């Protein structure tokens, strides 16, 4: 009887801890360049999570996750599901870091998903500087993050929300075609996207009028303040080895991830500094 | 009696014979240069070789392929009583996975879609979930991916050569055989698709070619030995024929030519014409009078046959060259290649062959008696017979000509024109597995003819949400058309992705959702190979809607084009973004299906045009050579008779016009008019100073036997093609043989009968009797 009571006591005491543990393993993914929507991405994310569980030694099925396309979807998921881990676009990380207590753990290396630099690209020869774009239409995947766009990408030269007529787009090349068609006046591209843009009919006429400093890559972040140091160390170890096995490489490839590497602290620090944190 | 008067040709042939070793050396050099090019000539029966490269529809189809990828496409059909039983699902899933592993091959089966949509999910472990997925929308059934009692496994692969295609198909077959080994889950696994048909035709053409060569060689040996009874003569014939063939095929290789189903007839047509020409020349050579020396007689024989042989080879060459007006590429190529090959024939016949006659000391009838002495009795009999029956033979042949013309062109209200067949399966034997599979598959899916509605807009047109909505409406309107079996386009794929995502299989109306959908389209392009085949990923300016139909004639395609224009106009009125982005002009229909019907549609004009041109050219040749109005007209009778009666034979035996039999008219005209040229040349040689009877006797004596043997050569030579596995070639062979015999019968009956009528003459004996009666009066 005493033994039973002791077990019951332990169960009652440990339940909240177990719940907190489970919550921390839920994952939110907000990477615009992955494409697709929540439903179509879910099977890929589930496979990724099952593998993550197996590598981290978590109970099978303990991690849940959601792929979110927009900022609104992401914040809504975070506030409702309170996931412990996020794979977020750097603009989301920088803008939401303070409010959500985000802590970067590792960063993603991927040709398809990350951008080292952004360029502000126009076609109209009359537009030569950021000032010339005052009141003009800017289509970008960063429109939902005007603070990041203004301070980190554009170096604080303009307040994007007021300087441009901003429109959020899901895919960068849509902005290129918008510029080429005259539907908008400027767009924001990284090096690879710019190279692709030049291959589009009329793309040779595109010009860069501003280039950003080096930008942080997509971080894997811990959401909240309750990640113990040991758990953090474990996560770093798990993630950096995740794509190293044959099975892991295949799963990472499905997510367009080449590997996870430790955070480039200097670049993150510079970006955060420019943002004013 | 032979006229040995010296002409300007005599010194030329004396020179050729004197320099015979130089001639031989020159041909040896030419032969060495030709062989490397000759062996380069490949066989390729791909459909796109059927149409000329300048055809606007062909150009459009090629441009279309450049934008959307020009991979080859085959479909495997797995038939089973219960497609959703675990056993069947397991077998087809294993087949699909195995086929995916074949290098260069991509599958787009419902199993592949399921695995892409549900990563990690296994249809074999949860067949119910798979069934729910497969039957939860009509999208998959509309595409023919799954249906009552079957799954289809569409396979796309990129190959750059015939041998590469062959390798991939063999690998697919091996993979399928391996998976199905010992399995009883499927009722049948069927194969369909143009690459299989092309592969089949290539194999059968090659096998047929391999059989033809020994048959033709045996025929040459039998003919030469039977006629001239001399091994030396046989050697002269064999070397001349070999060199002629090598030069002709070498020239084809030099010009980068590739043999197709009909152009494989080229070497044989040239060889048969060459053999006939050599027989004409050598038959004259062997008729050496005892009092004339061999050298003197050889020069005479060459000079005597020069004009007739030159005229006949030239007329045949130009007759074939007339096929160059055709829009059907193999027919155009065959015409040009045969024409060039016949130039080589002419050169060989008057240079190499005389040199070989001299070097090999081929015997004349003095040294060795020739065959067919019985023909002398025919010579005696024919003039009288043709005179007596002229009022029967001439009207009867004209009547038969009329029946043949009606058989070909039809009769308004009574008989439809002869049917055209160009569908690839029409070239296959009905008892072949591939034929049976194709016919069965046509029953399972809404057609095997594919065409594409090509929409060309501005950069980023497909990024516009309103365009996506409009395109979906346009596609659904097309899909509802009775002429269309099914229509698949980019919005089909988007709908499929929405279905997979649990959002239903329709394009949304909500502007925000539509906007997200266009974003998704862009992202999915790099991930989803199926979608990438519908949209040009760079510019997002072009797309297409693939139509699967049972349409098999060009007018129906034209009708579909008009219907498409009306649908476009209606849809664009409701969705102005379509007109803004793609213009008001209706989209163009392109693709192999339409091209096939166009080729079929052009066959008759091609036939008529090239045949008319051949007639004009040959008529002009006759005019130049004979300068005799009556002869000009009469000379055409046997050929026209043979050609038109042959169409009646086709109609009576249920044969159809196809890419091979369409060549019959020009081939028969080009080959059989040789006989008429020789006939008239010798007829006029004697008739101008004598009577019709003496002209006919002289003709029969000098040319009759050669005509008989040339007909034998042509008929048996072409009949060798009857060994082909391909029905069109077999039919061509039989019809050509029949036509040559018909032409010869007309040569010996209706033609002399008509000459009696035209010259208003009577046999000499009758005239003499009449004179005696007059004298007695």
- Selecting from B519, B539, B541 the residue whose C-beta is nearest the C-beta of A170 gives B519
If we measure between CA atoms, which residue out of A97, A120, A85 comes closest to residue A216?
Answer: A97
- Does A43 or B1 have the greater pLDDT score? A43
CA distance A69 to chain B (A): 9
Written as one string, the DSSP assignment of B682-702 is HHHHHHTTS-HHHHHHHHIII
pLDDT mean over A221-239: 85
**In terms of domains, do A137 and A103 share one?**
no
Structural domain that includes position A171: 119-211
Identify whether the C-beta of residue B617 lies closer than 8 Å to the C-beta of residue B635.
no
Ranges of each domain in chain B? 1-70+229-370, 71-199, 372-421+592-777, 434-590
Q: Is B70 on the interface with A (CB under 8 A)?
A: no
- Does A163 or A250 have the greater pLDDT score? A163
Arithmetic mean of pLDDT over chain B? 84
pLDDT mean over B578-586: 89
Nearest CA in chain B to A178: B460
**In terms of domains, do A63 and A108 share one?**
yes
Identify whether the C-beta of residue B486 lies closer than 8 Å to the C-beta of residue B142.
yes
**In terms of domains, do A19 and A89 share one?**
yes
Q: Is B56 on the interface with A (CB under 8 A)?
A: no
Answer with the one of A211, A231, A255 that is the final residue of a domain. A211
**In terms of domains, do A104 and A130 share one?**
no
* Statement: residue B399 has pLDDT above 90: yes
- Structural tokens at position B481: 């058309």
CB contact under 8 A, B460 and A177: yes
Interface test with A, best of B538, B577, B581, B582 (most A CBs within 10 A): B538
List pLDDT tens digits, range B409-457: 889 888 888 877 766 677 778 888 888 998 888 888 777 778 899 999 9
**In terms of domains, do A178 and A80 share one?**
no
Q: Distances in Å between the alpha carbon of B132 and those of A63, A269, B86, B128, B493?
A: 27, 51, 14, 6, 19
- Does B501 or B343 have the greater pLDDT score? B343
CA distance B177 to chain A (A): 29
What was the pLDDT predicted at B48? 63
Query: What is the C-alpha separation between A105 and A52, in angstroms, rounded?
Result: 15
Kindly tell me the sign of the dihedral angle through the C-alpha atoms of B662, B668, B671, B676: negative
pLDDT mean over B329-358: 91
List pLDDT tens digits, range B493-534: 889 888 887 888 899 998 888 888 888 888 777 777 777 788
- Structural tokens at position B172: 């697919």
What was the pLDDT predicted at A16? 37
If we measure between CA atoms, which residue out of B520, B436, B450 comes closest to residue B485?
Answer: B450
Answer with the one of A211, A226, A243 that is the final residue of a domain. A211
CB contact under 8 A, A173 and B522: yes
pLDDT mean over A134-153: 96
What was the pLDDT predicted at B376? 76
pLDDT mean over B7-16: 88
CATH number of the domain that residue A261 is part of = 3.40.190.10
What was the pLDDT predicted at B626? 66
Q: What CATH class is the domain B71-199?
A: alpha beta
What was the pLDDT predicted at A22? 42
CB contact under 8 A, B540 and A39: no
**In terms of domains, do A179 and A145 share one?**
yes
Outline where DSSP puts E strands in A39-93. Answer: 65-67, 85-88
CA distance B620 to chain A (A): 56
CA B743 to the chain's CA centroid: 23
**In terms of domains, do A8 and A123 share one?**
no
What was the pLDDT predicted at B372? 62
Interface test with B, best of A35, A67, A111 (most B CBs within 10 A): A35
What was the pLDDT predicted at B423? 65
Outline where DSSP puts E strands in B657-737. Answer: 657-658
Domain count, chain A: 2
* Statement: residue A271 has pLDDT above 90: yes
Q: Could you say which residues from 501 to 540 on chain B have a Cβ atom under 8 Å away from some Cβ of chain A?
A: 501-503, 515-516, 518-520, 522-524, 526-527, 538-540
Kindly tell me the sign of the dihedral angle through the C-alpha atoms of B385, B388, B392, B397: positive
Q: Distances in Å between the alpha carbon of B616 and those of A38, B315, B319, B629?
A: 73, 10, 9, 15
What was the pLDDT predicted at A6? 44
How would you list the strands of the sheet with A186-189, edge to edge? Answer: A165-168, A137-140, A186-189, A119-122, A207-211
- Does B255 or B664 have the greater pLDDT score? B255
Range with the lowest mean pLDDT among A154-168, A202-216, B115-129, B714-728? B714-728
A19, burial (CB in 10 Å: exposed 0-12, middle 13-18, buried 19+): exposed
Count other Cβ atoms within 10 Å, centred on residue B383.
24
Nearest CA in chain B to A40: B501
Provide the ipTM: 0.81
* Statement: residue B209 has pLDDT above 70: no
pLDDT mean over B352-381: 82
Torsion of CA A92, A98, A99, A100, to 10 degrees: 70
Confidence of residue B566 (pLDDT cuts 50, 70, 90): very high
Q: Which residues of B touch A50 (CB under 8 A)?
A: 120
Query: What is the C-alpha separation between B271 and B250, in angstroms, rounded?
Result: 14
CATH architecture of the region B372-421+592-777: Up-down Bundle (1.20)
CB contact under 8 A, B523 and A36: yes
Q: Are strands A259-262 and B146-147 parallel, antiparallel or unpaired?
A: unpaired
CB contact under 8 A, A200 and B538: yes
Q: Are strands B657-658 and A65-67 parallel, antiparallel or unpaired?
A: unpaired
What was the pLDDT predicted at A77? 93
Q: Tell me whether domains B1-70+229-370 and B372-421+592-777 share a fold.
A: yes
Answer with the one of A182, A211, A240 that is the final residue of a domain. A211
List pLDDT tens digits, range A29-66: 999 887 777 877 888 888 889 988 888 888 888 889 99
Give bridge partners of residue B547 from the DSSP assignment: B451, B487
List pLDDT tens digits, range A5-20: 444 443 343 333 333 3
Q: Are strands B150-157 and B105-107 parallel, antiparallel or unpaired?
A: antiparallel
Query: What is the C-alpha separation between B496 and B117, in angstroms, rounded?
Result: 10
What was the pLDDT predicted at A230? 83
Count other Cβ atoms within 10 Å, centred on residue B168.
22
**In terms of domains, do A107 and A240 share one?**
yes
Q: Which residues of B touch A72 (CB under 8 A)?
A: none
What was the pLDDT predicted at A8? 44
Helices (H), B181-261: 194-228, 231-254
* Statement: residue B359 has pLDDT above 70: yes
Q: How many CB pairs under 8 A join A and B?
A: 81
CB contact under 8 A, B501 and A37: yes
- Selecting from B120, B458, B497 the residue whose C-beta is nearest the C-beta of A181 gives B458
Interface test with A, best of B457, B460, B461, B541 (most A CBs within 10 A): B460
Arithmetic mean of pLDDT over chain A? 88
CB contact under 8 A, B516 and A199: no
pLDDT mean over B133-157: 90
Homologous superfamily (CATH) of B1-70+229-370 is Multidrug efflux transporter AcrB transmembrane domain (1.20.1640.10)
List pLDDT tens digits, range B731-773: 888 888 888 899 888 888 888 898 888 888 888 877 777 777 7
Query: What is the C-alpha separation between B409 and B203, in angstroms, rounded?
Result: 34
CA distance A1 to chain B (A): 46
- Selecting from B120, B463, B524 the residue whose C-beta is nearest the C-beta of A36 gives B524
Q: Distances in Å between the alpha carbon of B540 and those of B323, B458, B462, B674, B713?
A: 43, 8, 5, 61, 62
Query: What is the C-alpha separation between A113 and A110, in angstroms, rounded?
Result: 5
* Statement: residue B394 has pLDDT above 60: yes
Q: Which residues of B touch A169 (CB under 8 A)?
A: 519
Encode B326-370 in three state secondary structure: CCEHHHHHHHHHHHHHHHHHHHHHHHHHHHHHHHHCCCCCCCCCC
The separation between the first and the last C-alpha atoms of chain B, rounded to the nearest angstrom, is 37
* Statement: residue A2 has pLDDT above 60: no
Identify whether the C-beta of residue B334 lies closer than 8 Å to the C-beta of residue B262.
yes
CA distance B464 to chain A (A): 9
What was the pLDDT predicted at B422? 63
What was the pLDDT predicted at B373? 67
* Statement: residue A121 has pLDDT above 90: yes
**In terms of domains, do A104 and A226 share one?**
yes
Q: Which residues of B touch A247 (CB under 8 A)?
A: none
List pLDDT tens digits, range A78-119: 999 989 999 999 999 999 999 999 999 999 999 889 999 999
If we measure between CA atoms, which residue out of B462, B460, B464 comes closest to residue B515?
Answer: B464
Q: Is B361 on the interface with A (CB under 8 A)?
A: no
What was the pLDDT predicted at B414? 85
What was the pLDDT predicted at B1? 45
**In terms of domains, do A102 and A222 share one?**
yes
């Amino acid at each position: 009887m005493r033994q039973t009571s002791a077990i019951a006591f332990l169960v009652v005491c440990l339940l909240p801890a177990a719940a907190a543990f489970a919550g921390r393993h839920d994952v939110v993914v907000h990477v615009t360049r992955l494409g697709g929507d929540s439903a179509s991405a879910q099977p890929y994310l589930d496979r990724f999570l099952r593998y993550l569980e197996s590598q981290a030694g978590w109970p099978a099925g303990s991690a849940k996750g959601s792929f979110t396309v927009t900022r609104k979807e992401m914040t809504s998921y975070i506030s409702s599901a309170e996931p412990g881990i996020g794979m977020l676009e750097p603009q989301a990380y920088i803008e939401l870091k303070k409010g959500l207590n985000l802590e970067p753990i590792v960063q993603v290396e991927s040709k398809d998903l990350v951008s080292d630099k952004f360029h502000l690209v126009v076609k109209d020869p009359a537009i030569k500087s950021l000032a010339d774009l005052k009141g003009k239409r800017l289509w970008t995947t960063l429109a939902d993050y005007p603070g990041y766009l203004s301070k980190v990408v554009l170096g604080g030269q303009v307040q994007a929300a007021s300087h441009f007529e901003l429109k959020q787009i899901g895919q960068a090349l849509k902005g290129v075609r918008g510029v080429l068609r005259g539907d908008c006046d400027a767009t924001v591209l990284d090096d690879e996207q710019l190279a692709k843009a030049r291959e589009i009919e009329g793309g040779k006429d595109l010009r860069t009028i501003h280039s950003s400093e080096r930008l942080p890559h997509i971080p894997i972040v811990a959401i909240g303040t309750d990640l113990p140091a040991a758990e953090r160390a474990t996560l770093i170890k798990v993630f950096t080895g995740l794509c190293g096995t044959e099975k892991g490489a295949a799963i990472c490839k499905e997510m367009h991830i080449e590997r996870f590497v430790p955070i480039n602290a200097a670049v993150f620090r510079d970006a955060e500094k420019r943002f004013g944190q | 009696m032979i006229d040995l008067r010296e002409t300007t040709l005599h010194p030329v042939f004396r020179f050729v014979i004197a320099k015979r070793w130089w001639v031989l050396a020159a041909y040896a050099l030419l032969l060495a240069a030709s062989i490397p090019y000759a062996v380069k000539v490949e066989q390729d029966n791909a459909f796109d070789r059927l149409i000329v490269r300048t055809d606007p529809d062909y150009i459009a189809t090629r441009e279309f392929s450049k934008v959307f990828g020009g991979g080859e496409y085959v479909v495997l059909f797995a038939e089973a009583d219960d497609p959703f039983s675990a056993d069947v699902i397991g077998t087809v899933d294993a087949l699909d996975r195995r086929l995916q592993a074949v290098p260069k091959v991509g599958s787009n089966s419902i199993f592949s879609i399921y695995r892409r949509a549900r990563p990690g999910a296994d249809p074999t472990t949860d067949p119910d979930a798979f069934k729910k997925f497969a039957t939860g929308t009509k999208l998959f059934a509309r595409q023919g991916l799954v249906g009552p009692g079957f799954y289809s496994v569409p396979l796309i692969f990129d190959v750059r050569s015939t041998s590469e295609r062959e390798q991939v198909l063999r690998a697919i077959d091996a993979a399928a055989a391996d998976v199905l080994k010992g399995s009883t889950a499927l009722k049948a696994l069927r194969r369909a698709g143009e690459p299989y048909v092309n592969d089949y035709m290539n194999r059968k053409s090659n096998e047929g070619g391999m059989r033809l060569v020994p048959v033709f060689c045996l025929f040459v040996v039998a003919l030469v030995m039977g006629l001239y009874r001399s091994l030396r003569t046989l050697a002269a014939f064999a070397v001349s024929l070999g060199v002629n063939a090598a030069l002709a095929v070498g020239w084809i290789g030099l010009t980068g030519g590739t043999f197709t189903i009909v152009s494989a007839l080229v070497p044989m047509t040239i060889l048969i014409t060459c053999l006939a020409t050599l027989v004409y020349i050598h038959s004259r050579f062997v008729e050496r009078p005892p009092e004339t020396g061999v050298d003197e007689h050889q020069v005479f024989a060459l000079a005597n046959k020069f004009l007739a042989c030159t005229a006949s080879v030239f007329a045949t060459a130009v007759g074939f060259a007339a096929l160059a007006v055709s829009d059907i590429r193999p027919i155009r190529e065959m015409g040009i290649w045969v024409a060039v090959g016949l130039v080589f024939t002419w050169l060989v016949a008057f240079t190499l062959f005389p040199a070989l006659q001299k070097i090999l000391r081929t015997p004349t009838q003095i040294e060795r008696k020739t065959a067919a002495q019985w023909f002398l009795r025919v010579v005696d009999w024919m003039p009288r017979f043709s005179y007596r029956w002229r009022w029967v033979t001439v009207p009867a042949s004209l009547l038969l000509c009329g029946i043949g013309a009606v058989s070909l062109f039809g009769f308004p209200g009574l008989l439809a024109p002869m049917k055209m067949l160009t569908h690839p399966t029409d070239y296959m034997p009905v008892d072949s597995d591939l034929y049976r599979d194709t016919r069965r598959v046509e029953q399972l899916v809404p057609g095997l003819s594919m065409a594409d509605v090509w929409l060309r807009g501005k950069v980023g047109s497909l990024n516009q949400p309103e365009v996506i909505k409009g395109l979906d409406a346009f596609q659904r309107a097309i899909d509802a058309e009775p002429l269309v079996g099914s229509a698949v386009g980019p919005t089909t794929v988007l709908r499929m992705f929405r279905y997979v995502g649990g959002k239903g299989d329709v394009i949304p109306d909500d502007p925000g959702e539509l906007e997200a959908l266009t974003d998704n389209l862009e992202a999915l392009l790099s991930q989803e190979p199926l979608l990438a085949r519908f949209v040009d990923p760079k510019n997002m300016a072009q797309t297409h809607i693939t139509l699967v139909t049972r349409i098999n004639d060009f007018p129906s395609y034209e009708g579909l084009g008009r219907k498409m224009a009306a649908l476009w106009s209606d849809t664009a009125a409701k969705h102005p973004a379509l007109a803004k982005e793609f213009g008001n002009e209706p989209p163009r229909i392109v693709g192999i299906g339409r091209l096939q019907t166009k080729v079929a549609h052009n066959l008759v004009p091609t036939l008529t045009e090239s045949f008319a041109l051949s007639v004009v050219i040959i008529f002009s040749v006759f005019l130049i050579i004979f300068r005799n109005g009556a002869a000009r007209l009469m000379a055409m009778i046997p050929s026209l008779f043979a050609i038109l009666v042959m169409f009646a034979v086709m109609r009576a035996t249920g044969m159809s016009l196809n890419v091979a039999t369409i060549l019959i008219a020009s081939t028969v005209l080009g080959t059989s008019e040789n006989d008429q040229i020789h006939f008239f040349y010798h007829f006029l040689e004697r008739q101008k100073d004598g009577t019709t009877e003496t002209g006919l006797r002289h003709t029969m004596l000098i040319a009759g036997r050669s005509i008989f043997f040339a007909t034998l050569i042509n008929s048996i030579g072409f009949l060798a093609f009857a060994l082909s596995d391909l029905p069109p070639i077999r039919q061509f062979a039989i019809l050509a043989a029949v036509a040559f015999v018909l032409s010869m019968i007309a040569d010996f009956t209706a033609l002399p009968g008509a000459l009696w009528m035209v010259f208003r003459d009577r046999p000499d004996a009758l005239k003499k009797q009449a004179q005696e009666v007059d004298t007695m009066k």
